[in-house]
């Protein structure tokens, strides 16, 4: 810094500071009007306060100014109302401090609202230096960005070069500087100065501050170019009037997925602006289309007979293990069956069923759904992997459901019972392979109610055991329907024909006599397991067909193929004769006609 420039600065400072005693006197005369800020008029602040400058050197009787700040609830720093005190010297209510004696003092600012919240600053008071020869500010040049800060330090020198402590008066352009030399850059770019002058206004020094314009943020990257629109799901099979939610996303060049606004259109039904498709009443193959500018994607929708609703114009009606060539035949009223799915024969079996316009529930074989510990997800997954693809049979209604587990209260599962969560996991394995399949379990809704929510299982199976063990048919149906609805499960509702009779006991309903023909249990009479009489078949079946929530009536079981080596031959012969008895066939024929006349109900209720 040249001598000429420094001299000019000193003269300028001298003229300015020459008025300082008068200004101080004016301020002192008006001291009665100088009061601490009224807290009620200040912005709401947190309790913490900050006193600045934090550390300062002053000469005896030099007046320096302290400021207190806090933060609003929004985090903005604002002046804070404080009570000023000091460990020596004098401090005025507006934060001006001076001391007549050298030493080190603390200046304390206490929050007016939160008296325990304080901050302190340190003041070192030194004697005046009448022989002061020069000052030096460090750094003498600095570069800052707008809003940033820098602390300057000043050193005093005697004529012989000796360093002495001094107090100075600071001033600045282009920003602000406090009594401790802490400079805060303003917002305007340019070259500015920080000046330190001794208290006698005879010596000063100047530092240069260059404030750089803030760097402009980088230009935003160009919006990625949309390269593809993808509509999901890619295909769906629906019953008439059923709904399916479609959604779309985009892919940009490079493969990243992005949200995209599309316009949905559809054939064979209607679609909302949000992508909810409602199938029409006519079976066929249709399309849902999502369009964004010049890009589009299409999904295929197949509208079929209602999944799980059986043949057109009636309810699925049949029994377990009915021979396929007996379905929809002249001598038997059954149009449906539940059969164990044997992977090696399954394709041929399904082709036969389709040819006879019959409907089937496919049961995963019990022996293939468990391991040594009981019901097994891994074993079930391996069994399903051996099945052929059954998608087309699900789509046309030949397969009305996949039965994931037999009687969950059976003792044949091994040491671990079929936990309800595991039942849902088995249903998930079916859904992962065939999303449109209806998943079923042979368990009453009231036996399944311990699970808060079913994610994959869709249908329960209430098998009536007769009035000796269950309530009368209407009460039984009402109870199980209510439980199924509460769990959002469909319901197969029918009876155990071979073991659900009331027998020659007082348990029989009035006007509905039983029979003494034994059922499938060893010592069946002593454990009261009797076949149903023809009167029971007709009475119970009529009650269940009158329940509109039921989606199928499939009995346990077709008797003519029943085998159990442990039974006496006479008892086994009586069991095999059940479906051949003329009175039973007549009752079943009447029920079959009622089933054909009843409207379809879907086994999928969510």
For each successive 10 residues of the chain (606 residues), what is the average pLDDT? 42 41 37 43 64 93 92 83 92 94 93 79 93 93 92 94 93 93 92 93 93 82 84 86 89 85 94 93 88 93 60 79 88 90 95 91 89 83 94 90 81 60 89 93 91 90 93 96 95 96 92 95 93 96 95 93 93 94 94 90 88
Distance CA 456, CA 441 (A): 11
471 closest CA partner among 430, 438, 511, 502: 502
Indicate the class that CATH gives domain 3-212: mainly beta
116 closest CA partner among 215, 163, 171, 47: 47
Domain boundaries for CATH 3.20.20 within the chain: 317-597
Residue written as tokens 């996949």? 402
Q: Given this model, what pLDDT does residue 28 score?
A: 38
Q: Given this model, what pLDDT does residue 7 score?
A: 39
Give the bridge partners for 257, in sequence order. Answer: 251
Domain boundaries for CATH 2.60.40.10 within the chain: 3-212, 226-303
Token duo for residue 179: 């009594």
Looking at the domain 226-303, which fold is it? Immunoglobulin-like (2.60.40)
Contacts of 257 (CB under 8 A, 6+ apart): 249, 250, 251
Distance CA 447, CA 470 (A): 14
Q: Given this model, what pLDDT does residue 372 score?
A: 76
430 closest CA partner among 492, 359, 367, 369: 369
Token duo for residue 241: 């009037």
Q: Given this model, what pLDDT does residue 41 score?
A: 46
404 closest CA partner among 485, 458, 451, 464: 458
DSSP assigned state of 179? T
Indicate the class that CATH gives domain 317-597: alpha beta
User: CA-CA distances (angstroms) from residue 576 to 96, 169, 333, 502?
Assistant: 112, 116, 17, 19
Neighbour count for residue 374 (Cβ, 10 Å):
16
Q: Can you point out the beta strands (E) in 310-438?
A: 317-320, 336-340, 359-363, 370-371, 374-375, 399-403
- Say how many residues make up the chain: 606
Q: Given this model, what pLDDT does residue 310 score?
A: 41
Q: Can you point out the beta strands (E) in 310-410?
A: 317-320, 336-340, 359-363, 370-371, 374-375, 399-403
Rg of the chain, C-alpha, whole Å: 47
């Amino acid at each position: 810094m040249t001598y000429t420039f420094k001299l000019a600065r000193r003269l300028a400072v001298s003229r300015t500071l020459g008025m300082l005693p008068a200004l101080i006197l004016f301020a002192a005369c008006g001291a009665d009007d100088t009061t601490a800020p009224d807290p009620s008029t200040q912005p709401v602040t947190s309790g913490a306060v900050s006193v600045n400058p934090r550390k300062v050197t002053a000469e005896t009787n030099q007046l320096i100014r302290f400021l207190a700040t806090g933060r609003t609830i929004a985090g903005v720093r604002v002046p804070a109302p404080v009570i000023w005190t000091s460990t020596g010297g004098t401090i005025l209510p507006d934060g001006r401090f001076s001391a007549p004696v050298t030493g080190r003092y603390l200046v304390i600012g206490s929050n007016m609202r939160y008296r325990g919240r304080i901050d302190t600053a340190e003041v070192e008071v030194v004697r005046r230096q009448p022989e002061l020869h020069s000052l030096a500010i460090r750094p003498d040049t600095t570069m800052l960005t707008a809003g940033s800060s820098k602390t300057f330090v000043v050193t005093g020198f005697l004529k012989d070069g000796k360093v002495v402590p001094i107090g100075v008066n600071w001033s600045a352009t282009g920003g602000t500087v406090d009594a401790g030399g802490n400079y805060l850059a303003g917002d305007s770019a340019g070259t500015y100065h920080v000046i330190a002058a001794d208290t006698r206004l005879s010596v000063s020094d100047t530092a240069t501050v260059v404030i750089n314009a803030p760097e402009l943020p980088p230009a935003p990257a160009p919006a990625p170019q949309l390269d593809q629109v993808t509509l999901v799901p890619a295909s769906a099979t629906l019953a008439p009037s059923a709904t399916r939610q479609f959604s779309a996303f985009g892919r940009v060049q490079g493969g990243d997925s992005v949200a995209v606004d599309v316009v949905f259109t559809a054939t064979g039904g209607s679609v909302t602006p949000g992508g909810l498709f409602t199938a029409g009443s006519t079976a066929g193959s249709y399309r849902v289309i999502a369009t964004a500018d010049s890009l589009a994607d299409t999904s295929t929708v197949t509208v079929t007979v209602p999944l799980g609703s059986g043949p057109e114009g009636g309810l699925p009606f049949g029994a377990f293990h009915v021979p396929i060539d007996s379905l929809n035949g002249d001598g038997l009223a059954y149009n449906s069956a539940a059969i164990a799915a044997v992977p090696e024969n399954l394709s041929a079996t399904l082709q036969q069923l389709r040819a006879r316009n019959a409907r089937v529930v496919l049961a995963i074989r019990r022996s293939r759904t468990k391991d040594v510990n009981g019901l097994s997800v891994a074993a079930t997954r391996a069994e399903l992997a051996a099945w052929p693809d059954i998608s087309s049979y699900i789509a046309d209604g030949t397969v009305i459901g996949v039965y994931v587990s037999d009687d969950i209260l059976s003792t044949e599962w091994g040491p671990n019972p079929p936990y309800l969560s595991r039942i849902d996991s088995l249903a998930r394995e079916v859904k992962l392979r065939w999303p449109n399949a209806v998943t079923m379990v042979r368990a009453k809704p009231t036996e399944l109610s311990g699970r808060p929510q079913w994610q994959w299982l869709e249908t329960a199976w209430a098998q009536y055991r007769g009035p000796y063990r269950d309530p009368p048919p209407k009460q039984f149906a009402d109870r199980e329907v209510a439980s199924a609805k509460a769990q959002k499960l469909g319901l197969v509702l029918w009876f155990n024909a071979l073991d659900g009779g009331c027998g020659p006991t007082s348990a029989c309903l009035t006007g509905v006599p039983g029979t003494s023909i034994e059922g499938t249990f060893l010592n069946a009479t002593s454990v009261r397991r009797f076949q149903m009489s023809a009167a029971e078949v007709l009475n119970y079946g009529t009650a269940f067909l009158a329940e509109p929530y039921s989606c199928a009536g499939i009995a346990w079981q077709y008797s003519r193929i029943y085998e159990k080596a442990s039974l006496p031959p006479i008892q086994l012969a009586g069991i095999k004769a059940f479906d051949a008895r003329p009175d039973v066939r007549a009752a079943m024929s009447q029920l079959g006609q009622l089933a054909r006349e009843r409207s379809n109900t879907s086994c999928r209720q969510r």
